[in-house]
Amino acid sequence: MIQTQKLARGLSAVVLATLMATCTGSPTVDRTDASDALDGDPILFGVIAPLTGPVADAGAYVVSGLTIGVGKINAQGGVCGRPLEPIILDGMNDPQESANAAENLITREQVPIIMGAWGSSSTLAVMPVVARHGIPLVVETSSSDKITTPGTPGFDWVHRISPTSAMEAEAMKPYLVDELGMQRVAILSVNNDWGRGAGATFRQAIEEQGGQIVREDYIDQTVTDVLPQLTQINGSGADAIVMTTGAAQIATILKQYTELGMDQLILTTGGSNYPVAIMQLASPEMVNGTYHVMFYVPTEHALAGDPAMSEWYYDTYAENGYPEVGLGESYRGFDAAHVIAQAIELNDCSLDPESLNQALTRVEFAGLSGLVRFSEAHGHQSRPNVYLVRVDNGELAAVAADPPVEQP
């Protein structure tokens, strides 16, 4: 009996120790294999992505694109003849965990550059850490205006590929009221820097065009029951709803929107709103007729910065068996890997962080999300393409683009 108890106690301790290691301040380190064909020590770079937690799916998608990108770079000779190798830490989309991950990547792994940290709140938490150590940060997803606003701690070390919420709203401004007829608008977004930032910029854009915001709701990213908010929106006389959150939460909202028999126009923003993912999690019928602001439309290769590469990426993604629902998010990792690789080459293969930070300003990469080029005048911010996409019978159709796409 005593032996059984000891055994069980030991078993419990092992289970506990294993589990604590997976959830606390010691995030999982994932080193993807660098190409065996290349000689020399791999060039390491850090990645902070949410691999667990409510948006773990989005983090996994970004990493899948990153993996394809790194694989392509290494297959083409690597960076300065050396293989590129990401060290991926789980930031859980939690500011504290992401900051811890940055600290670990810099002090323990000694990476010269970092990509991350998906959510705006997490990225804002990472920025003071990279600034303290003098390590450049390439932001692939976050859209809060604060990140590239001079004066924000860490601003000097940040270069952002993803557009700001203000860029989205500005690009969509001509369409919101005049084309889509959004006169009385409700905002229903995730309650963090991303959702609130987007809410504020879209409010401004709609009001400047003569529209009116009739209600604003901000929900936690873990919330699944939104019937109370939708009931209020339905009773507010809103004719449209602007949503900024991840695809999974949008799908949940659309299910309950259907339950209530609502008919308001739906516009989703933020770039983590891939309609194919929403359709798979809700249904094509529920998504029919909705509008989505996107930065990469996987099926519209002509819209990408490099159409041939977009086509290659689309096929490679499928060949690797990655889920189709992640395609619309995965491109971020692909573009970011290429930006980092090009910056190192432009820096004469030096991994000195300070000069690498300068080299980022000279990067020009025709990626999946358009031409990536960081403008010093606009706060180290690239200006990717922004598309307004409508879903009709399960098909995505770009109805507007910024910058406008030249017709052949």
Partner 1 sequence: MVELVQHLLNGFLIGGIYALMGIGLTLIFGVMNVVNFAHGQFYMLGAFVVYTVFTLAGVPYLLALVVAAMAVGLLGVITERLLLRPIRDQPPDVPMLATIGLSIFLANMALIIWDPTPKDTGLPFPLVGVKVGPLTLTPMRLFVLVAAFVIIAGSHLFLQRSRMGKAIRATFQDREAAALMGVDVDVVNMVTFGWGAAMAALAGGLLAPIFQVFPTMGAIVTAKSFAVVIVGGLGSFPGAILAGLLLGIAESLGAGYVSSGYRDAIAFILIIVVLVVRPTGLLGHETHKLA
Where does this chain bind partner 1 (CB under 8 A)? Answer: 4-5, 7-9, 11-12, 15-16, 18-20, 22-23, 51-54, 56-57, 59-60, 191, 217-220, 222-225, 227-229, 231-232, 235, 248, 251-252, 255-256, 258-261, 280-283, 323, 325-326
DSSP secondary structure letter of residue 149:
S
Q: Which two tokens stand for residue 104?
A: 């670990």
Q: Which is nearer to partner 1, 217 or 402 (CB)?
A: 217
Gap between the Cα atoms of 351 and 355, Å rounded? 8
Backbone angles phi, psi at 222, to 5 degrees: -95, -5
Report the run of H or E that residue 164 belongs to, with start and end: none
Q: Which is nearer to partner 1, 64 or 152 (CB)?
A: 64
- Report, in Å, the least distance between residue 323 CB and partner 1: 6
Q: Which is nearer to partner 1, 217 or 300 (CB)?
A: 217
- For 242-307, the DSSP string reads EEES-HHHHHHHHHHHHHTT---EEEEESS---HHHHHHHS-HHHHTT-EEEES--TT-GGGSSSH
Gap between the Cα atoms of 30 and 168, Å rounded? 33
Backbone angles phi, psi at 268, to 5 degrees: -105, 150
Q: Which is nearer to partner 1, 22 or 299 (CB)?
A: 22
Q: Which is nearer to partner 1, 321 or 408 (CB)?
A: 321
Q: Which is nearer to partner 1, 231 or 299 (CB)?
A: 231
- Report, in Å, the least distance between residue 277 CB and partner 1: 9
How crowded is residue 31: how many other Cβ atoms within 10 Å of its Cβ? 12
Q: Which is nearer to partner 1, 75 or 260 (CB)?
A: 260
Number of H helices, E strands in the chain: 13, 15
- Report, in Å, the least distance between residue 160 CB and partner 1: 25
- Report, in Å, the least distance between residue 317 CB and partner 1: 14
Q: Which is nearer to partner 1, 49 or 124 (CB)?
A: 49
- Report, in Å, the least distance between residue 92 CB and partner 1: 9
- Report, in Å, the least distance between residue 231 CB and partner 1: 5
- Report, in Å, the least distance between residue 225 CB and partner 1: 5
Report the run of H or E that residue 102 belongs to, with start and end: helix 95-107
- Report, in Å, the least distance between residue 330 CB and partner 1: 12
What angle separates helix 193-208 from helix 165-176, to the nearest 10 degrees? 30
- For 63-75, the DSSP string reads HHHHHHHHHHHHH
